[in-house]
Structure 1
Amino acid sequence: MNYVLKNLPVRTEKPRNTGFTMAMDKGLSLRETEDFVESCSDYVDIVKLGWATSFVTKKLKEKIAVYREAGIPVYFGGTLFEAFIVRGQFDDYRKVLDTYGLEYAEVSDGSISLNHEKKCEFISTLAQQVTVLSEVGSKDAAKIIPPYKWIEQMQTELNAGAWKVIGEAREGGNVGLFRDSGEVRQGLVEEILTQVPEERIIWEAPQKSQQVWFIKLLGANVNLGNISPSEVIPLETIRLGLRGDTFDHFLGEIKL
């Protein structure tokens, strides 16, 4: 940090298991990627190349190399996994992971109907090759999954070999964990936390109000995902209580 401020929450340091920030790259150019890692690499733990953007991204290997040189792992969005699965190309997907030297992969079923037992088989198989993040929740706003089902699927997918589970919100933060207004489904989150360890969950929270809500609930070192590259540093200030939204949250008994 550039100077000293007292009474800040203690942030975990990289490589970390909590306080995790997953940034979503929705098509940054190579130059933009270089600029992004120069300014934000200390605050980003992993980057997702959103949905299937990797299919149409120019200089993909070069972009992945920029992230790798900055010590930031990269993985392809779960929608790409689903695009391969629905076409019966699981083995081809595994080869793509090897071709690009990826060490992480996301397994999801937000856009396709996939038997949950089969999904867990995919997780188990991929876990022998890479570190798996599995996403729970639907991208269909009309499909409301009850809390017990979220818990059951998260637990089962962790048991199948997932390193962490991701709570679905899409890049807009208006499905899954959230109502279409962006409001957090608070009861759902609180019920999940009674059964699934918080350090095993990444909460997709692209909107500032959602990030603030989770930080106030779970502290500075909550795992958050789908963060826009331009919002990584603003998020870090929210985590530290250095933005109006959380300014008073970590001050304790300081008196002026």
Structure 2
Amino acid sequence: MNYVLKNIPVRTEKPRTTGFTMAMDKGLSLREVSDLIETAGDFVDIVKLGWATSYVTKQLDEKLRLYKQANIPVYFGGTLFEAFVIRDQFDDYRKVLEKYELSFAEVSDGSIVLDHKKKCEYIKTLAQDVTVLSEVGSKDAAKIIPPYKWIEQMRKELDAGAWKVIGEAREGGNVGLFRDSGEVRQGLVEEILTQIPEDKIIWEAPQKAQQVWFIKLIGSNVNLGNIAPNEIIPLETIRLGLRGDTFDHFLEK
């Protein structure tokens, strides 16, 4: 850091498994990727190319190369996995991962109806070749999944070989873990944490208020995802108690 401040929360260091920040790339240009790496690369643990944006991204190879040179892993959003599966092209999806030399993959069922046993089979198969992140929750705001079902699915997906499970919120933060207003489903989150270890969960939390809520509940080293590139540094200051939202919280500790 640029100077010394006492009583700053201790952050884990890269490569880390807790205090994880997943950045959402929804179509950054090569120049924007370079700028992100230069300004905030130290705080980015992994990048998701949102939903199926990789399908239409120009100079995809070059973009992946830039992230790789910065030692930042990249994976394609789970919607792309679903797009292949619904078209009975799972083997083709595996070839895509191999073609682009990706070491991570996301398995989700937020946009399609997928038997959970079959989802776990996909996780188990992919985990032989890559590190799997599995997403739990629906992208349909009208579909409310009870807490016991979240817990059951998370546990089974971890058992199937997922490295971590992701709590669904979309890039807007208004489904899954959150109400359409963006308010956290507090009871859901707290019940999940009674059964699933916090270090095994990445909470999608694109809105500042959501990030603050999780940091106050779990601490500076909570795993957070779907963070906009221009919010990476602001998030790090929230983690460190250097923004008004968490300023007193960490001083009290």
Equivalent residue number for residue 15 of structure 2: 15
Equivalent residue number for residue 215 of structure 1: 215
Q: Distance in 2 between matches of 1:31 and 1:251?
A: 38
Q: Confirm or deny that 1:164 pairs with 2:164.
A: yes
Amino acid at match of 1:82: E
Q: Distance in 2 between matches of 1:8 and 1:62?
A: 38
Alignment of 1:34-73 (within 5 A): 34-73=34-73
Q: Distance in 1 between matches of 2:50 and 2:138?
A: 16
Amino acid at match of 1:171: E
Cα deviations across residues 20-75 of structure 1 (Å, max 9, x unaligned)?
A: 00000000001110111111111000000000000000000100010010010000
Q: Distance in 2 between matches of 1:181 and 1:113?
A: 25
Equivalent residue number for residue 96 of structure 1: 96
Equivalent residue number for residue 224 of structure 1: 224
Equivalent residue number for residue 203 of structure 2: 203
TM-score normalised according to structure 2 size: 0.99
Q: Distance in 1 between matches of 2:40 and 2:64?
A: 16
Alignment of 1:245-256 (within 5 A): 245-252=245-252
Q: Distance in 2 between matches of 1:244 and 1:252?
A: 13
Equivalent residue number for residue 182 of structure 1: 182
Aligned positions, number: 253
Task: Please state whether the residue corresponding to 1:249 is helix, strand or coil.
Answer: helix
Q: Confirm or deny that 1:140 pairs with 2:164.
A: no
% identical equivalent positions: 81
Cα deviations across residues 58-108 of structure 1 (Å, max 9, x unaligned)?
A: 000100010010010000000000000000000000000000000000000
Task: Please state whether the residue corresponding to 2:135 is helix, strand or coil.
Answer: strand
Pairwise CA RMSD: 0.6
Amino acid at match of 1:25: D
Q: Confirm or deny that 1:173 pairs with 2:159.
A: no
Q: Which runs of 4+ in 1 moved over 2 A?
A: none
Task: Please state whether the residue corresponding to 2:251 is helix, strand or coil.
Answer: coil
